[in-house]
Structure 1
């Protein structure tokens, strides 16, 4: 690929595989349609570089190199505490295999007594058996110490870990992220050369993980004499991610704090988050807001099918849907527990990782509760088709747990996608989401963690769905909640940072 930069070249960066991240994909496509030369850089899981066109943008997926983390204090102490442990955990299996092989050999020698000629190394039978017992004891002791060492080393946030984290923070300050999170270093090694190679006029960093990579890449580009601007797209409030492992949480907080000031502009996903960012970082300017709204359903696209048909269900079967990221903090198990109390109620789950251990635990829960035949797990569908695909369900459910600040301030894409599918909603009482559902009147709210309340909310919606769908009859309700409307803010920021797009903005691109 020719890396010579055209005027208005934008490099968007995300620290994931791109697929399934609808905000990133929509941003790349929309800004390409608006006239900029957009390149989207993310991670490859194939082990090789991938460069291809997708829509009007160019995608670059780069594999992340392997890299051993620094040996921390806990691991060093574990090695001293368990000196007989194998250096490599894989040796446990080798030790077991060796014991089995020696046992077979001992039995074979006994069976073959008196046959053939043996060499000098044939001690008496009782000596050989004693030697095997000593061997089993020794290998068993080493295996036990290896497992104990690994268990001890895997502990997190004990006194040792807090001491070491404080020590490195004292020495390195906000640069401690390099010591605490090896993944950030690995991702930078993968992505920074590609960012620089593409010679951007604007770097658009999506989410917390690429902000430092992009800020450091921008600094290198500027040292070479070129001008480049940096836009930070904050998807979450990082200090609110305190359920992460302690080292990673500390790393991300300091990582963002160090490199956010290098951004020439900041955009985020909701008004409450914009205010939090302004207050927490002492910003002179409140970040702009681009809601993660879906594209207006395009009925000229090929028919994507629908969720009801995909599950093999008739029109009279009550069907709920959950669409989005599958992770323990989403409390998807509450939906399954509620479904077990509602006779004949089916639920479809469109999740990012159908084979993930958490999803498998949900399937096991459904089996234990006797509702496995009423649960339907599927992968994602294209973001442009999602509202149409969901539209034949009876209710969209989002059981987000209350408490974490990022949950309380979120207006998640599920809210917009369910709404554009004209679905009644059932949501937990997290602040921003529940307030919007109550304001519009398109659903019911239940107290987070109250399975009985979730059952009541679902049954109320199923009893009279038209009462909730009527909220969508007013075209103004959803007019603001379209990607075509939201993308205007991106265009304004891009023009402020690097000037108008070299190709005139099309009316179709901006939905005007």
Structure 2
């Protein structure tokens, strides 16, 4: 976009902060680029897997990716008790494997010495003495290995009595500051990103999701003490008290962390109207947070042709093709799609996932091979968010098997809903509340019972039988008019103008 096409130059430097690697987080990337096009100077700060910081410009945004330092988590009561209960255990579990190799090496050495006895003329201990010494070594190492395994099994049991005692103790002692003792991810991320935030001296800090709200609030206070005026916008991507499927310590930590630092925000924005209502009710807010839906950009005809998913899979126009595009993790239950495709022999499935070589994705590939349907499953990486709807548009349907139960699932209108819709795909979605209600309202897909493979198969068969009846919902331009990023971004613009109106122009 040329300077003439951008909005007026705005006062102030915006620093957006996210606790991930930025790549694949379309909401963060779109918001950064859009605010830069509206005239603000935008810096996007996130995490790097490289050893050194990465600084580069992409579009109109300056990117800063910082590696996170390694840091041992605080020792829990259970870990301290395990050290007393299993005193012979190796400090690091990997050393137990080294001990096994030492036993094997010594056994080979005894055999070799017996075979070479007398050849070099050296005086050797009697054989029974050597064997007795090696037996003592084997017993000692074996005992240490046994205790190491027992200790690891003990530590693998989450949320036991000592864990609950630990949490209660630190909550009593520290209150909401207990997050520092229960989960050190926030500490590590703050160590990485805080210096960069302070160096950039923002006028507006835009904290994306739960981790950045805390250390952005702390950085803002530091800047204010130095005489710098700075505003803080919290972009709540999830209802943190609804993330109760997380490990107990991490869940308690994040709930307390958000509760402590959310009041520092000068304004709050979130991803859906139900979540905005929950945030206002739960935190006692005076003002309902603004809503910016995770809608995609309107396709730009001037962008290079990204290709299409059907051609990428090498399939003809008559082959049924379902797509799943998004984060691949065990809690997403993506294997359910493979289980259903197994019962629809003509169906191919394309998975556009964040990490094609991740162990979970590899397990999905192995599942397809075990079922003898590997040639019908196609795994590839993400497509640029600006090209995704266009790329997906040649598929037969888009599937999202989101599980019912977790409150964040029930209130979500996820990226996939908007991306599949803008690709004019029939949707096959689970019966989570908000998503299923919207699909039924528009009439652009089928709803199946969460966790029920048979119900998913039935929904897939219905779409394959008559896909055009579902695509008909998109013929009215008004259907998706509100569900475009260009429409949604005005909420950001309004909040930015409100927060930076006192800055000198």
Q: Which bracket does the TM-score occupy, shorter chain normalised?
A: over 0.9
- Structure 1's consecutive aligned runs of 4 or more residues displaced over 3 angstroms after TM superposition are 500-503
- After TM superposition, give the deviation of residue 499 of structure 1 in Å: 2.1
Work out whether residues 36 and 502 of structure 1, in 8 Å CA contact, stay in contact via their aligned partners in 2. no
Give 1:125 deviation, angstroms: 1.2
Structure 2 residue matching 1:53: 3-state secondary structure:
strand
Contact kept? 1:308, 1:393, Cα under 8 Å: yes
Residue of structure 2 in register with 1:246 after alignment: 248
For the 8 Å contact 1:390–1:421, the answer to whether it is kept is: yes
Aligned length: 496
Question: Which of the residues 292, 314, 317 maps onto 2:319?
Answer: 317
Whose relative contact order is higher, 1 or 2, with alpha carbons under 8 Å and at least 6 apart? 1
Aligned to 1:462: 464
Q: Against the structure 1 CA distance between its residues 340 and 97, is the aligned structure 2 distance closer, same or farther, given a 3 Å change threshold?
A: same
- The answer to which of 151-160 and 296-305 deviates more is 151-160
Partner of 1:508: none
- Residues of 1 paired with 2:504 and 2:404: CA distance? 46
2:150 counterpart residue number: 148
CA distance in 2, matches of 1:108, 1:375: 52
**Displacement after TM superposition at 1:87 (Å):** 2.1
Instruction: Determine which of 263, 274, 290 is the counterpart of 1:288.
Output: 290
Tell me what 2:164 maps to.
162
- Aligned-residue offset at 1:502: 9.0
Task: Tell me the SS of whatever aligns to 1:41.
Answer: strand
Find the counterpart in structure 2 of residue 10 from structure 1. 14
C-alpha distance 72-444 of structure 1, shift in aligned 2 (>3 A)? same
The TM-score normalised by the length of structure 2 is: 0.96
> CA offset at residue 292 of structure 1?
0.4
Which residue pairs with 1:61 in the alignment?
65
Correspondence for 2:354 among 346, 352, 355: 352
Structure 1: distance between partners of 2:113 and 2:438? 79
1:22 to 23, 26, 29: 26
Task: Note if contact 2:341-2:347 (Cα within 8 Å) is conserved in structure 1.
Answer: yes
Determine if the alignment matches structure 1 residue 86 to structure 2 residue 90: yes
Corresponding residue for residue 479 of structure 2: 477
Shift of 1:90: 3.0
How well do the aligned residues superpose, as a CA RMSD in angstroms? 1.3
Distance in structure 2 (CA, Å) of the matches to 1:434 and 1:89: 46
Aligned equivalent of 1:205:
207
- Work out whether residues 35 and 502 of structure 1, in 8 Å CA contact, stay in contact via their aligned partners in 2: no
Deviation at 1:95, TM superposition (A): 1.5
User: How many angstroms apart in 1 are the aligned matches of 2:457 and 2:120?
Assistant: 78
Whole-Å separation in 1 of the counterparts to 2:11 and 2:26 = 26
* TM-score, normalised relative to structure 1: 0.95
What's 2:258 paired with? 256
Unaligned segments of structure 1, at least 5 residues: 1-5, 504-512
Q: Which moved more, 1:250-259 or 1:138-147?
A: 138-147
- Show the counterpart of 2:117: 113
Q: More displaced, 274-283 or 71-80?
A: 71-80
Change in 2 beyond 3 A, CA 1:480/1:500: farther
Shift, 1:97, TM fit? 2.5
| 1:368 positional shift | 2.2
Tell me what 2:329 maps to. Answer: 327
Per-residue deviation at 1:69? 1.2
Task: Report if the CA contact (8 A) 1:437-1:443 is conserved.
Answer: yes
